[in-house]
Amino acid sequence: MIVEQYFIENKWRKETDQNEDGTEYYYYALDIADGFSFISNSDDETFDGEWTVGFFDCSPSMKFDDEEQLDALILIARDGIELGAEEKQEFVDFCLDDITELIKGFATAHKETVEPIRKYNSGMGALLCNGCSTIMATGEEAWSGNRLYCDTCEIETKQ
């Protein structure tokens, strides 16, 4: 789902225009390069505060309605831009905060899905590290313990 706040936080350009009957509407745009822009639907086409994003003059039309998908798509599009070294550095500096936040978001989302790995191990039980698969415990702790990472991997995942 894409909410209007997404465009504001990510500094999309707000464009206002008028319908034939004089009523105003607005939408958001993000330019990646000349001739390549992401365009939202207009505020009078949204339902329940859910927005979609597509491209101009694209057939068949494409619509995206998920913020994470859109973030990934924008990153990929920006990554394909051929810039001179200096321009590229400026661009990277400009986007760095966004990218850092995005990566943190993915890391957090991933961490929540990590579960302790338990193996039967011929009845002895074994609790394996999620990072390197080392056996961290056998016996009772293997069945009841909730450790996800060995000491080495623990340090790496916290960085």
What is the C-alpha separation between 44 and 19, in angstroms, rounded?
10
Minimum CB–partner distance for residue 131 and Zn ion (Å): 4
Give the nearer residue to Zn ion in terms of CB position, either 12 or 149.
149
What is the C-alpha separation between 13 and 8, in angstroms, rounded?
8
Contacting residues toward Zn ion, per CB under 5 A: 129, 131-132, 150, 153
Give the nearer residue to Zn ion in terms of CB position, either 70 or 129.
129
Helix (H) / strand (E) element for 106: namely helix 85-112
Label residue 127 left, alpha or beta by phi (over 0 means left) and psi (-120 to 50 means alpha).
beta
Give the nearer residue to Zn ion in terms of CB position, either 50 or 156.
156
Give the nearer residue to Zn ion in terms of CB position, either 1 or 114.
114
Q: Any idea what DSSP says for residue 54?
A: E
**Sequence-separated (6 or more) residues with CB below 8 Å from residue 138:** 121, 124, 125, 126, 127
Give the nearer residue to Zn ion in terms of CB position, either 33 or 132.
132
Q: Is the peptide bond before 60 cis (omega within 30 degrees of 0)?
A: yes
Minimum CB–partner distance for residue 153 and Zn ion (Å): 3
Minimum CB–partner distance for residue 134 and Zn ion (Å): 5
Minimum CB–partner distance for residue 44 and Zn ion (Å): 54
Q: Taking each helix axis from N to C terminus, what angle separates 85-112 and 67-79, rounded to the nearest 10 degrees?
A: 150
Minimum CB–partner distance for residue 125 and Zn ion (Å): 18
